[in-house]
């Protein structure tokens, strides 16, 4: 079965991101395919490469990146939600005249069309919200 996830909660303010990650790990452990994770609203903060949580907390950015490396899961970030919150990749940073960037691969800025595609192309789209 092919799964896609929609993550809408900020990584350290709500349980949604951590629950989504645990669900994602369980899906692939059970032999299913996790094709894409779409980060939307405050969920885009999961893609912030400069996050530095305390050592006794899970490092969700690293865990999502590891999921991508091990299972080739696309990590899609809503561009409108990300830019609104100051998250941008190198290309968008240059386009907006900013000095640095806070998002890089394996996280990819994309539009809502990718979310719509996920809702129609895969067997299940599971949403995690605060």
Which of the residues are catalytic?
78
Bin 126: left if φ > 0, else alpha if -120 < ψ < 50, else beta: beta
State phi, psi for 92 to the nearest 5 degrees.
-70, -35
CA angle 51, 6, 41 (to 5 degrees): 55
* Six-digit token string for 46: 């999961």
């Amino acid at each position: 079965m092919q799964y896609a996830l929609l993550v809408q909660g900020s990584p350290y303010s709500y349980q949604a991101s951590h629950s989504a990650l645990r669900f994602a790990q369980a899906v692939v452990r059970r032999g299913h395919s996790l094709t894409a994770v779409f980060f939307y609203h405050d969920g885009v903060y999961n893609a912030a490469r400069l996050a530095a949580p305390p050592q006794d907390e899970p490092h969700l950015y690293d865990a999502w990146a590891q999921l991508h490396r091990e299972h080739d899961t696309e990590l899609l970030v809503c561009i409108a939600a990300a830019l609104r919150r100051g998250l941008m990749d190198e290309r968008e940073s240059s386009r907006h005249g900013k000095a640095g960037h806070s998002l890089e691969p394996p996280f990819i800025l994309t539009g809502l069309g990718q979310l719509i595609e996920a809702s129609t192309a895969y067997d299940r789209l599971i949403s995690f919200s605060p």
